[in-house]
Structure 1
Amino acid sequence: MKAFQNLLYIILISLIVSSCNSETEKNFTLNGSVKGLKKGVVYLQKEDGTSIVDLDSVVIKGTSDFTLKTNIDEPILLYLKLHKNDGQEHFIPFFADKGITEIKTTLKRFTSDAKITGSEQQVLLEEYLKLMSDFNDSNLDLIKANFEAAKRNDTITSDSLAKRSNRLLKLKYASTINFALNHGDSEVAPYLALYEAPNASVKYLDSIYNNLTDKVKQSYYGKTLGKALNDFKKAQDSIK
């Protein structure tokens, strides 16, 4: 009887230790550094439906280095948020995968100075963002020119600039679609379709989805894109 009780005790202790280990071990670590930051709070966040939820947080007091941890099932976009009591919220979006990601930035230009080392999806996302930077610069030039034309009440120039802006937007969408089609083996492809080209023609979004590998189709963004396309097709069928 005593031997049986001892056995139960050993099993119970093993279960407790195993439970504690499962709670403390995380499969994703973010090591960060914000040059110039002496006081504030940093958060690791993710999108959950229509809201943003906190996964981990650290209060910064006197040191600019920090570590945040969580568990993730697959590659997904996360956010590093900084709250520094200035009435504003500062975010750095990045594609995370299991393992370690490092983000180094500055307090002065928290988002724009961010240097991110981590997942292969992040490398691909940065390649896309670099491609888009030229479009964004051109769009800013058009906005500035249109503002000047409006001050002069120059409607002819404003109309011309509006047409150029529309052509630029179409070209940006076309480049996004082409980029996604060329990277159907990455979770970045359905992410771009959902968040960077949501107003593109359904036939192009459908092409992106059909070009995804089976593995990516089963990812969070792959499933979300597939559901969005199915919902649209059902809505179209219902009004025929």
Structure 2
Amino acid sequence: MKKIVLALMAVVLVTACKEEKNANANVHITGNIKGLSQGKLYLQKLQDTVLVTLDSITINGDSKFESHVNLESPEMLYLFLDRGQTKSIDNSLPFFAEPGNIKIETTLERFFADAKITGSKNHDLWLKFDSLNSKFRDQNLALMAKRLKNELKPNPTTTDSIENEYQKLLKRKYRYTAHFAVSNANKEIAPYLALSEIANINTPYLDTIQKSMTPEVAKSKYGKMLKEYIAKRKAEETQK
């Protein structure tokens, strides 16, 4: 009898802790991974260059899942699928989370490629940016192929030509990203792109992005990080 009472108390305690966690959460994530009957999901975020787990969800028969997390401000999260013994590189799904209700729908077969995420304006903007940024990546891969081919039979003229193409591509990518960030400076995507895509751009461009941000964005996680990064860059440039 005593064991039964203790077991019931444990269940009540776990339930109470879960309810308290949900009550403090400001991001409600629901989703469905079609075709997944067993596995484990990990909701993660990048903290000091290391991925930390915010929540773990066990899938056993039902492909639908739900998670509640608390974020100080919108930020990029990662939904990682542990397929067990099955090896696949298509296991990580990045998405720009923000307070509110977010819905994730995808498939087991094409976890990343089939993903449809709704409920986050920052994520919508990230997808819009990534659609053109993918063209820059494709062009860069083509240049890398040319560079490798040229290394087999070195030709100084070809080497210079490839380097010039690369520098032009880099400038176009940097200018496009900076313009996109300034145009969407009322969203946390702006400082995120500045830090993740064009951190090496000239400081005045970063300054322009920072000055364009709204007060709310400036106080966000990425807004504060951008401010600190720019201050560090300026200090290093002064010492040179």
Q: Which residue of 2 aligns with 1:55?
A: 54
1:23 deviates by 3.0
Q: Which residue of 2 aligns with 1:15?
A: none
Measured against aligned partners, the alpha-carbon deviations of 1:126-151 in whole angstroms (never above 9, x if no partner) come to 11111212212222222333344444
Is the 8 Å Cα contact of residues 149 and 155 (structure 1) preserved in structure 2? no
Q: Which residue of 2 aligns with 1:67?
A: 66
In the TM superposition, 1:197-236 aligns within 5 A as 197-236=198-237
1:222 deviates by 0.6
Structure of higher CA gyration radius: 1
Measured against aligned partners, the alpha-carbon deviations of 1:71-126 in whole angstroms (never above 9, x if no partner) come to 12221111111111235662111111112111122223222221111211111111
Q: Which residue of 1 aligns with 2:9?
A: none
Measured against aligned partners, the alpha-carbon deviations of 1:145-197 in whole angstroms (never above 9, x if no partner) come to 33444445555434422321221112101110111111111111001001111
Is the 8 Å Cα contact of residues 22 and 69 (structure 2) preserved in structure 1? no
Q: Tell me which amino acid in the other structure corresponds to 1:71.
A: N
CA change 1:79–1:157 in 2 (3 A) is same
In the TM superposition, 1:1-240 aligns within 5 A as 21-25=19-23, 26-85=25-84, 86-87=86-87, 90-154=91-155, 156-237=157-238, 239=239
Report SS of the residue matched to 2:195: helix
Which whole-Å CA distance do the structure 2 matches of 1:234 and 1:179 have between them?
27
What is the RMSD computed on CA atoms of the aligned residues?
2.4
1:32 deviates by 1.9
Q: Tell me which amino acid in the other structure corresponds to 1:162.
A: E
Which whole-Å CA distance do the structure 2 matches of 1:168 and 1:231 have between them?
27
Q: TM-score, normalised by structure 1?
A: 0.83
Measured against aligned partners, the alpha-carbon deviations of 1:184-213 in whole angstroms (never above 9, x if no partner) come to 111110010011111111111111111111
CA change 1:20–1:30 in 2 (3 A) is closer
Identity, % of aligned positions: 38
Unaligned runs of 5+ in 2: 1-15
